[in-house]
Amino acid sequence: MIATRSDGVPEAGACPMTFDHLCVHLGRTRILDNLTGSVRERSIGLLGPNGAGKTTLVHTLLGFFKPSSGAASVLGLDIVGQSRHLRRLIGYMPENDSFVAGVSAVEYVRLMAEISGLPPRQALERAHEALYYVGLGEARYRPMESFSLGMKQQAKLAQAIAHGPKILFLDEPTNGLDPPHRKRMIRLIQEIREEGSMHVVLSSHLLRDVEECCDEVLILKDGRIASTCNLEEERKADKKFVELETVGDRASLAEAIQDLGCTCDISRPNRIKAILPDQVELGLIYRLAAERRVQLRRVSYKRDSLEEIFQRAMNDTGGQNATAAQPKQDQAMEGRSNGGL
């Protein structure tokens, strides 16, 4: 069971999200299948192809769907037992068009802030501020129906942050945006993350969005956690990742590199990917190649990109539940066992 405080107050430093064998059925269809794990970073990406269960997971955490079994908590609060208290702390930007008809942007954001518990005067102030912040200051008295798609996305973000939530769920926030609007939206999310007063959960199928905004990624596939990845650690860690383009006896070179204690992958033709431990210098690789008369046509240093991690997770047809926030080395080893890095 997930431990939560009985008074409904989230504990300081509580995990943003924890899953304990969480299953969700819609009708007879199992959408989320036995999710277990936790995420710890300030900004979390929910990544997966269409139909992977990202939106259902967000909706379940918001209390829209009841888990059929298992449990989950957000900020240390149980999503079923403490749902109402939890929703006080949540900001939610839905994926599709969601607005109140016949009102201006400022009335819309004000209404949502009031329902979140802000007194009318503060709600109006915060509505103006939030709309300025997202870049709709000049359009705040226009009716929502007249907004372009990009403006509607900005207005949705404004209503999600106006009441000062502790955790912000963004469901495909860049959907349908042109490049300038997308860039602006990403910058806003980055600013909110850096401001530090709230966690950000970004659900998207766009790798670039997640990579730019998130510290930790939960990759979903067919309703299961296919992989997790701590991008923050990825960014910080000097992995000594090296990719060699070779001509010659690649297998024997890879074997020799592995004998040095390196993690090695030869799944792509003419390529050897290796993670060098601290004590192994690149010169040693050159020497091994020379001894085996293997030509090194190109040597590139490139850490694991999110795209590669995602591809690896997608190729793993089993869709394993992974423990969140694994150290990079563990992931690398898991990658090797799956036949890729």
Q: Note whether 64 binds another protein by CB under 8 A.
A: yes
How many binding residues for another protein (CB under 8 A)?
Answer: 51
Residues numbered 262 to 281 that lie near another protein (CB under 8 A) are none
Q: Which of 126, 224, 239, 250 binds another protein (CB under 8 A)?
A: 126
Beginning with the edge strand found earlier in the chain, give each strand of the sheet holding 167-171 in spatial order.
90-93, 167-171, 199-204, 43-47, 216-221, 224-230
Which of residues 131 and 264 has its CB atom nearest to another protein in the complex? 131
Nearer to another protein, 64 or 301 (CB): 64
CB 24 within 8 A of CB 56: yes
| CA proximity to 307, closest of 241, 215, 178, 219 | 219
The two three-digit tokens of residue 231, written as one number: 């991008």
- Residue among 99, 145, 152, 108 nearest 126 (CA): 108
Structure tokens at 47: 């990544």
Q: Which of 211, 217, 214, 125 is nearest to 163 (CA)?
A: 125
Cβ closer to another protein: 36 or 68?
68
Asked if 26 touches another protein (CB under 8 A), the answer is: yes
Q: Is 78 in the site for another protein (CB under 8 A)?
A: no
Q: Check if the beta carbon of residue 75 is closer than 8 Å to that of residue 3.
A: no
Residue 144 CB, nearest approach to another protein (Å):
8
At closest approach, how far in Å is the CB of 101 from another protein? 4
Element (H, E) at 86: helix 83-88
Shortest Cβ distance from residue 232 to another protein (Å)? Answer: 21
Picking from 284, 298, 295, 296, the residue whose alpha carbon sits closest to that of residue 256 is 284
Q: State the minimum distance, in angstroms, from the CB of residue 326 to another protein.
A: 31
Q: Tokens for 37, please give them.
A: 């794990």
Beta bridge partners of residue 90, listed in sequence order: 167
Polymer length in residues for the chain: 341
**Which member of 36, 98, 175, 258 binds another protein (CB under 8 A)?**
98
Toward another protein, which CB reaches closer, 164 or 340? 164
Distance in Å, CB of 120 to another protein, minimum: 8
Q: Does 2 bind another protein (CB under 8 A)?
A: no
Counting contacts by CB under 8 A, is residue 100 touching another protein?
yes
Which of 19, 99, 147, 241 lies at the binding interface for another protein (CB under 8 A)? 99
CB neighbours (10 Å) of residue 62?
Answer: 18
Query: Nearest distance from residue 96's CB to another protein, in Å?
Result: 6
What is the closest distance, in whole angstroms, from the C-beta atom of residue 10 to another protein in the complex? 14
Phi–psi pair at 46, nearest 5 degrees: -105, 115
- State the nearest-atom distance from the C-beta of 60 to another protein, in Å: 11
- Residue in this structure with the two tokens 């079994």, named with its chain if needed: 69
Q: Which of residues 127-146 bind another protein (CB under 8 A)?
A: 128-130, 132-133, 137
CA nearest neighbour of 237 among 312, 331, 313: 331
Q: SS3 of 239, please? A: coil
Within 120-199, residue ranges assigned H as helices are: 120-134, 149-161, 179-195
DSSP secondary structure letters along 318-341: T-----TT--HHHHHHHHHHTT--
Mask for 175-214, x = binds another protein (CB under 8 A):
----------------xx--x-xx----------------
What minimum distance in Å lies between the beta carbon of 42 and another protein?
14
- For another protein, the binding residues (CB under 8 A) are 26-29, 59, 62-64, 84-85, 87-88, 90, 92, 94, 96-103, 107, 111-112, 114-119, 122, 126, 128-130, 132-133, 137, 159, 161-164, 169, 191-192, 195, 197-198
